[in-house]
Amino acid sequence: MATLTFSNISMRFPDGTEALSDVSFGVSRGEFVTIVGPSGCGKSTLLKIAAGLLDATAGSVDVDRNGIGYVFQDATLMPWRTVRRNVELLAELHGVDKDERQRLASEAIDLVGLSGFENHYPKSLSGGMKMRASLARTLTMKPPVFLFDEPFGAVDEITRERLNEETLRLFEAEKFAGLFITHSISEAVFLSTKVYVMSARPGRLVASFDVPFGYPRSPEIRFDPRFAELSGEISHALRGAHS
C-alpha cells in the first residue's frame, strides 16, 4: 500500500460544480508525483481532500493524517513573528518543548538557506524568502507526506529554479512521499519521479509520464535531451487536456 492512496475520488460541490471525477493513484515514500492541469480542473481540491480539509463525494483516501505537511500557494506567515518564530510555529502547536523546537527550526532554516535571517520579520523578506520560511516551517514536522500546492508560482524564473533545487535536496534528504501541483512543466520534470496530466474540469488523470532521471539529481539534467523530449510530450498531453 502506498503512503498516500486515492481510490476513485469524485468531488461535486454543493452548488453542483463537479471538480473531480474518478481519480485513483498512490504516492509512496521516495516518490515525488506532480500533477499538471488546466486552471480550475480540481488540483487544489484534490490536495484539500488528501489533507482532510474537504470530504470527497465519492471514493476514499488512505493516509495517516498526522503525517501530512502542506505548503500552500501563499506563504501564510504570521507578520508579528520573526522567521525563527514562524518556523517554530507548527512544532509549538504540536507541543514540542522549547529546546527541541529551536533545534528543529535551526536545522530547517539552514536547509532552506535562510540562515542569517532568523530575526527578520516577514515584511522585510522577498517572496522567495517567504516561501523558504514556509517550507522550513513544514519541514520541522518531518512529514512523511508532503503536499505542495503551486508553492513557487509567484517568484521569478531564476528564484524558482533555486527553490526547485532546494526542494530536490529536501526530498533527497527526507525521502517523503511528495505530491506537487504546478503549471510549470520544467519544474514538474525537474523534481518528479512521475508526472500526471489532469483534464479540464471535472479533473481526471488523462496521461502519466515516468521521469527517467534518478536521485541525487543535478541541475544539469535541464540540459539533457531527454528532459526536453519529455517536457514536449507533457506539453502535448496538456494541450489535449485543455480542449
DSSP 199: P
List helix spans (H) across the chain: 43-51, 83-87, 89-93, 98-111, 127-139, 157-174, 185-191, 225-242
- How many alpha carbons fall within 13 Å on the CB side of residue 15? 2
Of 192, 184, 181, nearest to 221 by C-alpha is 192
Question: Judged by CB under 5 A, how many residues of this single chain contact Mg ion?
Answer: 1
Taking CB within 5 to 8 Å according to partner kind, which of ligand ATP, Mg ion, none is near residue 218?
none
Write the single-letter amino acid at 206. Answer: V
Name which of 226 and 242 has its Cβ closer to ligand ATP. Answer: 242
Taking CB within 5 to 8 Å according to partner kind, which of Mg ion, ligand ATP, none is near residue 13?
ligand ATP
Name which of 41 and 125 has its Cβ closer to Mg ion. Answer: 41
Strand partners, 210: 194
Q: Work out how close the CB of 223 gets to ligand ATP at its nearest, in angstroms, rounded to a whole number.
A: 28
74 sits near Mg ion (criterion: CB under 5 A): no
Q: Which residues bind ligand ATP (CB under 6 A)?
A: 13, 15, 17, 19, 39-45, 201
DSSP 54: S
Strand partners, 181: 35, 149
Taking CB within 5 to 8 Å according to partner kind, which of Mg ion, ligand ATP, none is near residue 45?
ligand ATP
Name which of 47 and 168 has its Cβ closer to Mg ion. Answer: 47
Question: Site mask, Mg ion, residues 21-50, x = CB under 5 A?
Answer: -----------------------x------
Closest-approach residue to Mg ion (CB): 44
Q: Work out how close the CB of 149 gets to Mg ion at its nearest, in angstroms, rounded to a whole number.
A: 6
Instruction: Output the nine-digit C-alpha cell for 181.
Output: 501541483
Taking CB within 5 to 8 Å according to partner kind, which of Mg ion, ligand ATP, none is near residue 144?
none
Q: Work out how close the CB of 160 gets to ligand ATP at its nearest, in angstroms, rounded to a whole number.
A: 16
Q: Work out how close the CB of 103 gets to ligand ATP at its nearest, in angstroms, rounded to a whole number.
A: 35
Instruction: Output the nine-digit C-alpha cell for 131.
Output: 516561501
183 sits near Mg ion (criterion: CB under 5 A): no
What is the spatial distance between Cα 165 and Cα 209, in angstroms, rounded to a whole number?
21
Q: Work out how close the CB of 149 gets to ligand ATP at its nearest, in angstroms, rounded to a whole number.
A: 7
In this structure, are residues 195 and 238 in contact, taking their beta carbons and an 8 Å threshold?
no
3-state class percentages of the chain: helix first, strand second, coil last, to nearest 5: 40, 25, 35
Question: Which residues contact Mg ion (rule: CB under 5 A)?
Answer: 44
